[in-house]
């Protein structure tokens, strides 16, 4: 079974600054996907970024980028030029390529607050 750990329950950052959210996971799988989801106060889950484990290059989506360290089983999210709209709960998630259902395993989340 896979586990996903987010060790930072809460974080805050000043507007326009950069913040990094941590995520580690444990798995015996070699082929999998990793995701970061954002859940704003509306509670809608929004996909932020994904990373395929077979790719060495770190994924980027505009102001969002990841630092994927496969050997260390680490998958951190960096948000550059933080904006007030980035205030949300952020969840890291793991999904194996093999296995029935392609189920996501989520971490417990990090509440990010962007301040003026």
Partner 1 sequence: SQTIHQWPATLVQPVGSPLSLECTVEGTSNPNLYWYRQAAGRGLQLLFYSVGIGQISSEVPQNLSASRPQDRQFILSSKKLLLSDSGFYLCAWRRGVINEQFFGPGTRLTVL
Q: Which class for 43: exposed (0-12), middle (13-18), buried (19 or more C-beta within 10 A)?
A: exposed
Q: Which is nearer to partner 1, 87 or 116 (CB)?
A: 87
Q: Which two tokens stand for residue 58?
A: 């770190």
- Candidates 33, 73, 78, 87: give the one binding partner 1 (CB under 8 A): 33
What string marks each residue from 88 to 107 as x (binds partner 1 by CB under 8 A) or -? ---x---x-x--xxxxxxxx
Residue 24 φ then ψ, to 5° = -125, 155
**What is the binding site for partner 1 (CB under 8 A)?**
33, 35, 37, 42-47, 50, 91, 95, 97, 100-109
């Amino acid at each position: 079974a896979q586990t996903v750990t987010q060790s930072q329950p809460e974080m805050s950052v000043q507007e326009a600054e950069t913040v990094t959210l941590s995520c580690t996971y444990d798995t015996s799988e070699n082929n999998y996907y990793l995701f970061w989801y954002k859940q704003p106060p509306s509670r809608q889950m929004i996909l932020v970024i994904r990373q395929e484990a077979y790719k060495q290059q770190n994924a980027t989506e505009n102001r969002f980028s990841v630092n994927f360290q496969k050997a260390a089983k680490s998958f951190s999210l960096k948000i550059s030029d933080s904006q007030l709209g980035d205030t949300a709960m952020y969840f890291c998630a793991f999904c194996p390529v093999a296995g029935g259902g392609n189920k996501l395993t989520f971490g417990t989340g990090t509440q990010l607050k962007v301040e003026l």
